Amino acid sequence: MNPNDEVISLTRALLRFDTINPPGDESLCMAFLADYLQQHGFSIHLQRFGERRFNLVARLAGRRAYDKPLAFTGHVDTVPLGNADWRFDAFAGEISDGRLYGRGASDMKAAIAAFIVACRQQHEAITSGSGVVLVLTGGEETGCDGARALINETRDYLPAVGALIVGEPTANYPVIGHKGALWLRCETRGKTAHGAMPELGINAIYLAAEAIGKIRYFEPGAPHPLMKQPTLNVGTISGGLNINSVPDRSWFDVDIRTAPNLRHEEIRQRLTTLMGDTVTVTTLVDLPSILSEPHNGWIRRVFERCAPLHDAPLQPRVVPYFTDASLLLEALGAPPCIILGPGEPAMAHQTDEYCAVDKLLQAVTLYGDLISDWGRRGAA
């Protein structure tokens, strides 16, 4: 099969699987990928981490066993479709005006297809070199649930690797890091009473509103040279059971995005103190930021490979969203890491999400070049 046809066909096949999270169901998609990779010589390990929830680790060994393999990672779960109508079927992989449409096209099934096809094309470079490891996860969109389960339950299937490529959407621009995420649930408790006699109760919603007012302009910490100002957002709020009762419970969720110069425990403590004793704080997600050294030899070679694809000289960049690398890096031996994928960053989580076909084809060649380089030189 023509390589261009192969990556488009594989991307469309992945888009046909409904892997929306929540509720989360990667079972059929992961089974398909496991079979596909096994047919191309990979040894595979499927890990179940919940009802119809799966991760997949696939390895293609190399003869140069004394060197560490190159690793790719990507997640197959996607966000919901949203309330707006789609012009294109979200699960058909339709192509129109050079764009491949579908939920997960940019974030990030196109990248998964691209690095799998690149591995198939570079089979000889991989097997004569130090090998390759593919870490495919579920549950990334809700806080890296799959990666966490993979690390906690089957760490032995995650070898030390020489470098990690995360296929999140960057329009094939190399990104050296991303912000950390600290998600907190803040709960208030009051005392219920009849809505006509509110003086007999304690309104938990009022307590939550007072707490939100206190933290609205809270600064998590000092700016970072690349990641700039850390951010805080109250994303959800809930309270009360019926209109004619004083609510005795309310909660709101806080999303804080951080940088390597900030400690999450310190931020949480400061925020808890500021809100006061009426608020109980629970951590929902705690993911560290990542940042690779831009002068690392392998990082510089990635930049050299990417440079011809962009009009302006490349600069060290970071992204505000988190990736599975937050958890996987330590488990994989803390290698240098680059975030690099064909998807359009602005298309992630959008209605009529798409990946430009030319970027997808470009990514296959780019990933293939990086695999070939690794086979010859490794991390040196």
Q: What is the pLDDT of residues 259-308, one digit of tens each?
A: 999 999 999 999 999 999 999 999 999 999 999 999 999 999 999 999 99
How far apart are the C-alpha atoms of 367 and 344, rounded to whole Å?
A: 17
155/189 same-domain check: no
Q: End of a domain among 239, 266, 287?
A: 287
Which pLDDT score is estimated for 65? Answer: 78
Contact 325, 290 (CB under 8 A): yes
204/171 same-domain check: no
User: Does the pLDDT value for residue 155 go beyond 80?
Assistant: no
How far apart are the C-alpha atoms of 377 and 380, rounded to whole Å?
A: 6
Average pLDDT over residues 198-222: 97
| Annotation says 5 is catalytic | no
Contact 373, 301 (CB under 8 A): yes
Q: Residue 157 — very low, low, confident or very high, per pLDDT cuts 50/70/90?
A: confident
171/44 same-domain check: yes
**Cα 322–113–310 angle (5° rounding)?**
70
158/52 same-domain check: yes
From the candidates 25, 26, 140, 168, give the one annotated as an active-site residue.
140
Which pLDDT score is estimated for 4? Answer: 81
310/271 same-domain check: no
Contact 186, 254 (CB under 8 A): yes
Token pair, residue 232, equals 């805080």
Domain that holds residue 209: 181-287
- Which three-class secondary structure state does DSSP give residue 249? strand
CATH code (residue 206): 3.30.70.360
In Å, what is the CA distance from 361 to each residue of 5, 7, 72, 357?
A: 9, 7, 17, 6
Contact 131, 69 (CB under 8 A): yes
- Beta bridge partners, 134, equal 58, 72
User: Does the pLDDT value for residue 3 go beyond 70?
Assistant: no
How far apart are the C-alpha atoms of 205 and 142, rounded to whole Å?
A: 26
- Type of residue found at 165: I
95/46 same-domain check: yes
CATH code (residue 313): 3.40.630.10
CB crowding 278-316: b at 16 or more within 10 Å, else e:
bbeeeeebebbbbbbebebebbebbbebbeebeeeeeeb
- Type of residue found at 166: V
| Annotation says 344 is catalytic | no
How far apart are the C-alpha atoms of 37 and 135, rounded to whole Å?
A: 12
251/373 same-domain check: no
Average pLDDT over residues 361-376: 96
234/363 same-domain check: no
Q: Number of structural domains, the chain?
A: 2
Q: End of a domain among 287, 309, 338?
A: 287
Candidates 285, 223, 227; CA nearest to 256 is 285
103/187 same-domain check: no
86/122 same-domain check: yes
144/243 same-domain check: no
Q: End of a domain among 287, 302, 334?
A: 287
Average pLDDT over residues 124-130: 96
Percent of the chain surpassing pLDDT 70 = 99
100/120 same-domain check: yes
Which pLDDT score is estimated for 379? Answer: 66
- Tokens 């779960």 -> residue: 77
Which pLDDT score is estimated for 219? Answer: 96
From the candidates 26, 77, 141, 373, give the one annotated as an active-site residue.
77
